[in-house]
Amino acid sequence: MPRKLAAGNWKMNGLGAALAEVTALAERCPSPKAEVLICPPATLLSRLSAAAEGSPIATGGQDCHTATSGAHTGDISPAMLVDAGASYVILGHSERRADHGESDATVAAKTHAAWNAGLTAIVCVGETEAQREAGETLGVIQSQIASSVPDGATAASTVIAYEPVWAIGTGKVPTLKQIAEVHDALRGQLNERFGSEGNEIRLLYGGSVKAKNAAEIFAVSNVDGALVGGASLTAEDFGPIVEAL
């Protein structure tokens, strides 16, 4: 199993001054047990990659296009992310699925494009509150995985993030039993589809992870790290989460 992963998703947050948080995080966690990743907005990616140079902090994008270049105003290609220092890209985040109408097929095409550029794709899946209440959680997530993760996924190329939509940015967190139920089911699905490689693909939990709940979530079976939004924005908040892994 590759090292556990603490991934921060800054979303549309962070001006130049936020780079100081990366320096502070590197100082606070000079040799973390887990891999540490920050995915800033595209405007900060080059500068953040430079600021993190020589530290254990990797950088990533929050989305990418399927093409390498071309007439796609406002988009960013996987090659551009690599050029800006990224080694990861988050794909299919529920905010992109909801705000930009991204389908599973779109996410799969973006994942392919990311792999071709040498990026590791963090593919996000998760149920809405209505789907959970209707008892559809496992069906929804397993169908998202089946259609968003292309054949050929490996532990080096792919990370899966389980992020219940209703837990993102809300302070609501599933019970540890609910997290285990989903992660165990996902592990079974990955094993069945990808054989021994499926056992090595990291499964992150995301949704209102904070310093106070990180350790108990990380102790849940088949939780190999976290994708963290709000609590990844400062070294003070993210440092303890990294240290809990």
Catalytic residue among 93, 102, 127, 183: 93
Residue type, 57: I
163 assigned to active site: yes
Contact 173, 208 (CB under 8 A): yes
57/124 with CB nearer ligand PEP: 124
Instruction: Determine the size of the site formed for ligand PEP (CB under 6 A).
Output: 13
Question: Would the annotation count 230 as a binding residue?
Answer: yes
Q: Measure the CA–CA gap between 49 and 39, rounded to whole angstroms.
A: 10
Stretch of 17-25, 75-83, 114-122, 226-234 contacting ligand PEP, by CB under 6 A:
226-234
Q: Measure the CA–CA gap between 177 and 221, rounded to whole angstroms.
A: 10
Say whether residue 63 binds ligand PEP (CB under 6 A).
Answer: no
Say whether residue 229 binds ligand PEP (CB under 6 A).
Answer: yes
Of all helices (H) and strands (E), which one includes residue 146?
helix 137-148
**Among positions 207, 220, 225, 238, the unique one binding ligand PEP when judged by CB under 6 A:** 207
93 assigned to active site: yes
Residue type, 189: Q
**What 3-state class would DSSP assign to 97?**
helix
Residue sitting closest to ligand PEP (CB): 229
Q: What is the footprint of ligand PEP within residues 156-175 (CB under 6 A)?
A: 163, 168-169
Q: In degrees, to the nearest 5, what angle opens at C-alpha 183 toward C-alphas 89 and 243?
A: 65
Residues lying near ligand PEP in the complex (CB under 6 A): 9, 163, 168-169, 206-209, 227-231
